[in-house]
Amino acid sequence: MLLINARYFCVTVLLVSPLLYATERCAQLPNNWPFTTISTPAHFILSLGANTQDLVKANQDAREFAKILQQHLQQKFPANQNIIYSCVLGNVTRQELDESLEKLQQLVKLSDEVYIYFSGHGTQRSNEVTETDCLDEMLVPFYKNSAQDKTPDSELMRDDEFAEEINEIANKVQNKITTILDTCFSSGMLRAPGCNLKAKMIPKQGDEEPVLPAKICAVNRQLQRLKGTLYTASREDQMAFETSSGGLLTQTLLKYWQLDLSQSLDKVFVKAAKELANKELAVKELAGNFSCQQHPEKWENGALIPLQ
């Protein structure tokens, strides 16, 4: 039986910077970030993982994704047009997440291209002002001082904050930025009813069941405001999963990419999304409910893009 958990390592430097900790971890040769902006067009990869709670493969996913993406870019572009700066941060903290995004914003320029990847838990908190479903989605970075099942809200990153930081980078590179999130935006890390899959989500303190979207709040869905291309592991109200091999989305995507590195990220994402949808239907029939469904989605500058 395939046991699945719901849903890293870094490359490091010696930089004199107000962003000391994150920039130290992003500046060790050979996969280093530059000291300052350079004139030659470049590709920046920021690949993040957080093995929080019972997740054990998020760090691995971040390493493997960055490695394959770098190989793809090296094959796609001639050597004299292929400057790649890669940073892989394992067990990334909230402070490091802020610092690394801020450092990227400082370094990039119009001719650059940016890739940001995160694997870990997602959760939700109430928001009756800016969310149509009354819930804010939140990324769960690593928090070393947390109890087994408690991470302070101050250590989480709300979708509003994440989108704001991504968009500052997007504005500098004219939206040539791709974000990949292998996480669920659910309210708790629970075993799905009638299903042998465990979700990549963290419960609110004291909650025994997920917070169910009320669908009564008034305004904008946050992910529609995020610029560039966004690939997600699941829908806004769905869980994403981790198997013994790693995040379902990440490992399925990399399986197809390793067959042919010349394929675009978009092409392998579509293949992975279709495979997961088909697998989930089989799991659903076995389990007798819809709780194990995971449908990856693509967003482009705030618009949901149908997968062809």
What are 92-118's pLDDT values in tens digits? 999 999 989 998 999 999 999 999 999
Greatest Cα-to-Cα distance within the chain, rounded to the nearest angstrom: 57
Q: Is the dihedral of CA 209, 215, 217, 219 positive or negative?
A: positive
Peptide bond before residue 30 is cis, with ω within 30 degrees of 0 = yes
pLDDT at 281 over 80: no
Q: What is the mean pLDDT of residues 8-13?
A: 27
Residue 216 is predicted with a pLDDT of: 52
- Tell me, rounded to whole angstroms, the distance of Cα 139 from its chain centroid: 8
How far is it, in rounded angstroms, from Cα 165 to Cα 163?
A: 5
Rounded CA gap, 163 and 220, in Å? 13
293-302 pLDDT, tens per residue?
A: 788 999 898 7
Q: For residue 250, which of 63, 10, 14 has the smallest C-alpha distance?
A: 63
